[in-house]
Structure 1
Amino acid sequence: MSKLLKLGLPLCLLVLIIVIFVHAANDLTCYFIQSTTCPAGTARLIGLRNDTGGFNNAHAQNNSFNTYDYSLCCNVTDNASITITSGCPGNATVLKLSNATNAHVEIGTNTNYSIPVCLSSNWKHITCDYPTGSCSPSSTCLLSMAGSEGTNTSNAHVADCSYYNQKVCCKLQNSAPTKPVLYYPANGNTSVFERRPNFNWSQSTDPDNDAVDYTLNITCGACSDACKLNVSGITTTNYTITSPLCVDTDYNWTVSACDIYDACNTSAIFSFRITSIQDLELLINQTSFGLMKNDENDDTTDDNPTPFVVRNKGNVLLNVNINATALFTSVSMNTNYYQFRADENESGSYDTSCSQTTFTNMNTLPKIVFCNLSYEDSHDEGEIELSITVPHDEGAGNKSSIIKVTASPTE
């Protein structure tokens, strides 16, 4: 062993050590113990020994050796679920050693020595600094160190924290991800059409390289809970909501980026509004039954002739009504010679419980054909089926009727 700084110690020494740790919950705790190993649940940072067999003014060894009588052990005493380990590489290189044993030390940020001494945690991250005098209130002092050649940060001996002025201080620390930047819907957008918008935002980065997920929060003041939304655990930078938002409602939305330790950063607040749009389109707006005989019946249910087809191009549910001018001269309207009913062109496009799903008589006054015709893509089209029976006494000639289809929102 190289020559150590000499200490005057009596041959027989009774040492009473009272150690008081005052620390916040989940703080790092390190202590010296007279053993070549550390207790279960703790991590051995280094072994230590001086010329008199103690741990102050001592040389160090790394964990490939266990021949020194003292060890510096670290753990988190008030949370057994937090594990501290000393394998390298780790969260922090606490020290560097000149040799694997019988070593001088330097602070972990120096580059003179090549053998690292590390600490890691499975909760948050360990970071270290090297002040003179004392550690910050949020840090734990692991040890102190001093050299004999003009610097205390390299070529140094180690001791407990009360011994030297140069300290080695470490703490459990975690940094929140960067704040997301919101893209769509843009702030102040009052003409959002989609009831299920695809919200998107920028990717957040985590200074500690932790995994990041996002929480989308959508609020609307005094509106009902059905119009609000909070979705967590999103791992991409966009999200299409599964339930439609309310129309003609002012919304606020934010995105919070959180790491695995629930350190979060929340975006600015953006506002938007989904304006209701009522828009019914007749995809097929005329049909011809061709030549028919008296008392003959035909309908459009076999698509020959073709039924009328309507599409809800808006973003609200619609009730669709129908009425027509007279088709025959020998019979009045609202008789079984001229009838209509609702049918699907796309499945699930309307509410069958309140729609006209069986043939009923056409009238000059509006009657409902579709109830709550959907605005959802792939479910927003319906067919208006017609049934015609030529009256027994109807005279020959061209017969025509003008059909009027109107719609009104139901929300």
Structure 2
Amino acid sequence: MQGKIKTHIAILAIIPAAIIVIILIRSSVGSFNISLSGFTTAGANNTTLMASVNVSETITLSLSSATINFGALVQGTANNTTNDAPNPFILVNGGNIGIDLTIKMNQSPFSGTGSGNNTNTFRFKAGNCSTDVCGSGNSSVFNWGTSQTSFQNFTTVNPNLIKNLSYSSGNDVAEAEMLLSVPSDESTGS
């Protein structure tokens, strides 16, 4: 396959349409040839057959929860999903190709000085899936060095979240961790 396919999946966090994850294909699955030779019981070569097999790319990304409920927070406090309270977004690659994920914020959860992009009030990072959240037998396999593995501010560009999330069963899950810091001048309410 040539080029990249972009698919948009809406993820809800604190407020509707807070985050959108964009899926990009990182690598392609190709075709290969199989050669078969038939022999008689006497050992004579009867024929050789050639067969071609094309494997189609399939992208399937599952999201275990579309909402993160941070509960009641007061001004000047913070909470994040790294301790699984609340649980992060769990992403599962159910396709047959590694995928890259980028992330952006459509709308800030705050209206005061902490609103908008590139503030430290609403941040993200990629994480390995914990046994408590994903169960035993599931692990995260993605390119840790080129993924965003420390908390980063949302900006106006679509930064990398996860690079090359594996499609291999049992190794195809990752966490999208969120950090929420309530500004000291934020008004009360939801």
Whether TM exceeds 0.5 here: the answer is yes
Of residues 342-351 and 294-303 in structure 1, the stretch that sits farther from structure 2 once superposed is 342-351
SS of the equivalent of 2:145 reads coil
Rounded Cα–Cα distance in structure 2 between residues aligned with 1:386 and 1:374: 22
Residue 252 of structure 1 deviates from its aligned partner by: 2.1
Q: Is the 8 A contact 2:37 2:49 kept in 1?
A: no
Give the SS at the match of 1:269.
strand
Q: Does 1:391 align with 2:183?
A: yes
| 1:161-200 alignment runs, 5 A limit | none
**1:83-140 deviations in Å (ceiling 9; x for gaps):** xxxxxxxxxxxxxxxxxxxxxxxxxxxxxxxxxxxxxxxxxxxxxxxxxxxxxxxxxx
Q: Which amino acid aligns with 1:313?
A: G
Corresponding residue number in structure 2 for 1:188: none
Residue number in structure 2 paired with 1:147: none
Give the one of 278, 281, 297 matched to 2:78. Answer: 297
Question: What is the aligned partner in structure 2 of residue 368 from structure 1?
Answer: 160
What's the offset of the Cα at 1:368? 0.9
Which residue of 105, 108, 126 corresponds with 1:342? 126
Alignment-mate amino acid for residue 166 of structure 2 = S
Residue 341 (structure 1) shift: 0.5
**1:269 partnered with 2:54:** no
User: 1:7-66: CA deviations, max 9, x gaps?
Assistant: xxxxxxxxxxxxxxxxxxxxxxxxxxxxxxxxxxxxxxxxxxxxxxxxxxxxxxxxxxxx
Structure whose CA Rg is larger: 1
1:73-88 equivalences under 5 Å are: none
Instruction: Indicate the residue corresponding to 1:310 in structure 2.
Output: 91
Q: Equivalent residue of 1:334, what SS? A: coil
More relative contact order, 1 or 2 (CA 8 Å, 6+ apart): 2
Taking the aligned partners of 2:46 and 2:170, their CA distance within structure 1 comes to: 38
Pairwise CA distance, 1:312: 1.3
In structure 1, the residue matched to 2:23 is none
**Structure 2 gap segments, 5+ residues each:** 1-27, 130-137
Letter of the 1:368 counterpart: N
Q: What is the deviation of 1:265?
A: 6.2
| Superposed displacement of residue 357, structure 1 | 0.4
TM-score (norm 2): 0.71
The question of whether the paired residues in 2 share the 8 Å contact of 1:284 and 1:310 is answered with no
How does 1:1-400 map onto structure 2 within 5 Å? 247-249=29-31, 251-256=32-37, 268-324=49-105, 325-330=107-112, 331=114, 332-345=116-129, 346-398=138-190
In structure 1, the gaps of 5 or more residues are 1-245, 399-411
Q: CA RMSD in A?
A: 2.3
